[in-house]
Structure 1
Amino acid sequence: MNAQDVLRLVRAEKLRLIRFQYCDNGGLMRCKTTHASKLATRIYEGIGQSLALGAWTGADTLASVEGMGAVGEFRLVPDPDSFAILPYVPNTGSLICNLIDVNGQPWGADPRGFLRRMIARLADKGMRFEAAAEHEFYFAREEMGKYVPADRSLCYSTIGLDEQALVMDAVLEALESQGISIEQFHTELGPSQQELSIHHADALRAADNICLVRETIRGVARTFNLLATFAPKPFLDQAGSGAHIHFSLWGTAESEYPNKNLFYASEERGHLSQTGRYFIGGVLRHIRALLALTCGSVNSYSRLQPHYWSSAYGAWGFDNREAAIRVPSTFWGRETDLVNLEIKSADHSGNPYLAIGGLIAAGLDGIENKIEPNEPQDVDPGNLTDAERERLGIQRLPTSLDESLDELERDHVLIEALGPMLSTAYLAVKRDECNFFKDKTPEEVAIQHFYKF
């Protein structure tokens, strides 16, 4: 879709407001809106936004970053291909934006711009990246001044499907109307916890889709007097919610292996190629730092506990749901297309552009430097002794956001990929969030994340 297509649709649908949206370093969707009558100009020139928003945190505080204060601005310049009509609010459309400086160049602190750079690095090597997320979330309702699960359904139960059938049908209709293809849906382990899987897409659209799914589910839930929360650990006594990212690597049309799944090898265990193993090796080499991007909140680390299927150790395995990287089994007859990897240590508090871009940077390091991963694990790594894990090269993942940020600061590959402006801003934002929550109880942390994600 191009700008003229968007303008025609806006006129035909008689829309009034268009949201110019972006996901910030705090992992939250922010936006400004334009009246439809002004869109013909603003779709090209964008809308101004203060440079301070690059240092705005998930706690709605301003981190201290040189050059990101009261002076200066960037532009929210929309990607026309991201246009959607929002079915859960009246007469409104949305566009996802790139952050552009006042000289018309990509702004160095733009998370979406970072992912675009990583996509370009892959393209230079004749590769492209596809991804999709498994979206876990809770439906909650307010009761006596606090949020409680909307029902008491059990894992995979049909009772849970019946309880939330109306709201979920509205959710699915709203997503389909925005061009998002649904794969699977089921109730999850916690009461009124849901899991929705969508179809894979190229890396940029996959990150856009993660944002759109979260926005749509929350928006539709509100029309049913429910709150949909994507917080990693909204209820401390219940299962956490992840955003497991499934991904695959493909040869470009112009490459030596045009449109071939580069993770596929017919004779190998799980049909996993050597390229796939190197990619795993790169991710595991950087996993402790990568966590700062994929699990980007203080609340995330209440979820990342052993024996909770969220991954607590830097291990990988075939259909091992306690490993940080899982190689899912494929369906009969479609092995060539379906070999993919899943990173389980990811949730919705991580900015998806940073998470996917970081995955690409880590995986590329593995491919370029032929990094072999440790041996695949056929057991829960949490059941091994400390001595066994040390012998196998399996590290405990960070247990706090502060710890993962320390790892990120020391990781030259990821810091170089992010670039000086984005890495400085991101670290400052997340350090500020850590400081904000340092004196809060786990219950207070959970409550404050409950309605933000």
Structure 2
Amino acid sequence: MPSNAEEALKFLKDNKIEWVDLQFTDLPGRLQHVTIPASDFDENSFKEGFGKLDGSSIRGFTMIYESDMILQPIPQTMSIIPWMNGVARVLTKVYWGGGKGRFERDPRFIAEEAERTQEEQGYTSFFGPELEFFIFDRVDLDVALPQSGTGYKIYARESPWHDNGGFMIRYKEGYYPAPPIDQLMDIRVEAVDTLTKYFGFIIEATHHEVATAGQGEIDFRFSTLADTADKVQTLKYVLKNVAAKHNMVATFMPKPMYGDNGTGMHTHFSLWTKDTKKNLMYDPNDEYAEISQTGRYAIGGILTHARALSAIVSPTVNSYRRLVPGFEAPVYTAWSKSNRSAIIRVPSYYRGMEKAKRIEYRAPDPSTNPYLAFSAILMAALDGVNKKIDPGDPVDENIYHLTPDKRKELGIRELPRSLDEALDELESDNEFLKPVFNSSMLNVYVDLKRDEAKTLQMYPHPMELYYYMDS
């Protein structure tokens, strides 16, 4: 992949590219695009950008009277779209039109500001998300006339309700059956091949996940904050297109079906010196988990702000269908090593490996905007380090089985139970975000999410008719 503008122009010429997809991310986290002729690219394109964006048509961006915006290509993200002939894509930064500078509600701008802030404090951070997803054969939605009722039906070749010739996966038994029980390995492998060959990924693993009906996971090599967020958006884009090629649908929705595990995005995080020569979270003399005092402070910051973080890392009404006990999703604010009932765990597969020492924050799901999520996690961790926030003692038992009195004794709080509750927390606890998250962005984000929650509250759920029709 190109490393600068000159190489990007050569890339377009050498690969006989005719069209380039300019891609960017809106505030809720959806990938957007506009396609232009490759012949429009020249030496100034990467400096001046392209005046191709009506910002008033993008959620969370601008008003109709200030809608002219610029998309500036990021040359390092230029890559071929292999399922289209003569087409490439490039991620972009969003600028105000009229020479007014960078657009402050561009999610990637927030990520860049987070990187700038950590560098000023002498740090570099690395992120390694585990993206889970479902691949369904088909989903039928009945929402055309919601006044007469709504509903959906999932068709999934591996599921117990599908005619699958006996090759089914029972509920919670999807981790890790070999083919032919795992019927979607070919699609996952095609997706990781595409990511590796065309988009510069280093893939560490792909496998079936716990749930039935086509739940999978793809893990890629950790990287810096903004680059990792770019990769999350790219992975989602590639997997959805590969699945569509096979007449299937890939979704990163947190909880698409009842009775089985939802979809998370467990995020591994480590904090290093700015020159990346020392992992500040590693202490070989720590007997518990080789986690340093700095690492403990980072954990303390994330735990302290976990309820407010929920509004960003678990950002949809559906996210809170996932965050319930019994489905390996975190509900309580505690930390531990090798304990998947805690919201933060310290992976402890090996000892004596500085480069591997990190924490795993288990609350995020892949419906989040990764630029905002990783920036918020970093700011919470730095707040813990700067204020020396003690995370308390680790909890090395199944937290789901603790009594309410025992949890209270240990200082364990619950995560919010709804998006509205999470937004309440974000509005009352956001000072730790202020160095990076400007007020304009936060206010618009909260307004968008309040409107989303309000809209969904107005729709009767199909199961409400089951429970209440005889009232």
Q: 39-48 or 312-321, which moves further after superposition?
A: 39-48
**Which ranges in structure 1 are unaligned for 5 or more consecutive residues?**
57-64, 445-453
2:361 counterpart of 1:361: no
Is the contact between residue 73 and residue 92 of structure 2 (CA under 8 Å) also seen in structure 1?
yes
The 1:83–1:395 alpha-carbon spacing in structure 2 relative to 1, beyond 3 Å, is same
Corresponding residue for residue 399 of structure 1: 417
SS of match in other structure, 1:108: coil
Corresponding residue for residue 223 of structure 2: 201
- Which residue of 175, 182, 188 corresponds with 2:209? 188
- Which residue of 234, 245, 251 corresponds with 1:229? 251
Following superposition of structure 1 onto structure 2, how do residues 189-338 of structure 1 map, counting pairs within 5 Å?
Answer: 189-191=210-212, 192-253=214-275, 259-268=277-286, 269-333=288-352, 335-338=353-356
The 1:271–1:43 alpha-carbon spacing in structure 2 relative to 1, beyond 3 Å, is same
Corresponding residue for residue 447 of structure 1: none
TM-score by length of 2: 0.87
- Which residue of 86, 97, 107 corresponds with 2:103? 107
Percentage of pairs with the same residue:
31
Report the Cα offset of residue 144 of structure 1. 7.0
2:37 counterpart of 1:35: yes
SS of match in other structure, 1:185: strand
> C-alpha distance in 2, partners of 1:443/1:29?
30
Corresponding residue for residue 374 of structure 1: 392
Report the Cα offset of residue 238 of structure 1. 2.4
Is the contact between residue 134 and residue 245 of structure 1 (CA under 8 Å) also seen in structure 2?
yes
- Which residue of 124, 127, 130 corresponds with 1:131? 127
Which residue type is aligned with residue 55 of structure 2?
L
Corresponding residue for residue 49 of structure 2: 46
> C-alpha distance in 2, partners of 1:13/1:220?
21
Is the contact between residue 158 and residue 181 of structure 2 (CA under 8 Å) also seen in structure 1?
no
Which residue type is aligned with residue 111 of structure 1?
P
Q: Deviations over 1:344-377 (max 9, x none)?
A: 1111111000000001111111011000112211
Larger of the two Rg values belongs to structure = 2
Which residue type is aligned with residue 187 of structure 1?
H
Q: Deviations over 1:264-306 (max 9, x none)?
A: 0001121100000000000111110111111111110100011
Q: Deviations over 1:61-112 (max 9, x none)?
A: xxxx9x6334333222121112221223332211111121222522111111
Which residue type is aligned with residue 27 of structure 1?
G
Corresponding residue for residue 61 of structure 1: none
Report the Cα offset of residue 2 of structure 1. 1.0
> C-alpha distance in 1, partners of 2:460/2:364?
23
- Which residue of 74, 81, 88 corresponds with 2:83? 88
> C-alpha distance in 1, partners of 2:452/2:233?
21
Is the contact between residue 379 and residue 433 of structure 2 (CA under 8 Å) also seen in structure 1?
no
Corresponding residue for residue 164 of structure 1: 184
> C-alpha distance in 2, partners of 1:98/1:161?
43
SS of match in other structure, 2:20: strand
Q: Deviations over 1:309-359 (max 9, x none)?
A: 1101111111111111111113355x2110111111111111000000001
SS of match in other structure, 1:221: helix
Q: 134-143 or 352-361, which moves further after superposition?
A: 134-143
The 1:121–1:204 alpha-carbon spacing in structure 2 relative to 1, beyond 3 Å, is same
Higher helix proportion (structure 1 or 2): 1
The 1:71–1:160 alpha-carbon spacing in structure 2 relative to 1, beyond 3 Å, is farther
Which residue type is aligned with residue 308 of structure 2?
A
- Which residue of 352, 370, 375 corresponds with 1:352? 370
Report the Cα offset of residue 161 of structure 1. 6.8
- Which residue of 18, 21, 30 corresponds with 2:20? 18
Report the Cα offset of residue 223 of structure 1. 0.8
Corresponding residue for residue 451 of structure 1: none
**Which ranges in structure 2 are unaligned for 5 or more consecutive residues?**
142-152, 160-168, 464-471
> C-alpha distance in 2, partners of 1:190/1:4?
46
TM-score by length of 1: 0.90
> C-alpha distance in 2, partners of 1:136/1:160?
21
Report the Cα offset of residue 46 of structure 1. 2.4
SS of match in other structure, 1:217: helix
> C-alpha distance in 2, partners of 1:79/1:279?
31
> C-alpha distance in 2, partners of 1:441/1:306?
24
Corresponding residue for residue 156 of structure 2: 149
Q: Give the RMSD, CA atoms, in angstroms.
A: 1.9
SS of match in other structure, 2:453: helix
The 1:383–1:127 alpha-carbon spacing in structure 2 relative to 1, beyond 3 Å, is same
SS of match in other structure, 2:268: strand
Which residue type is aligned with residue 240 of structure 1?
G
The 1:23–1:369 alpha-carbon spacing in structure 2 relative to 1, beyond 3 Å, is same
Report the Cα offset of residue 399 of structure 1. 0.9
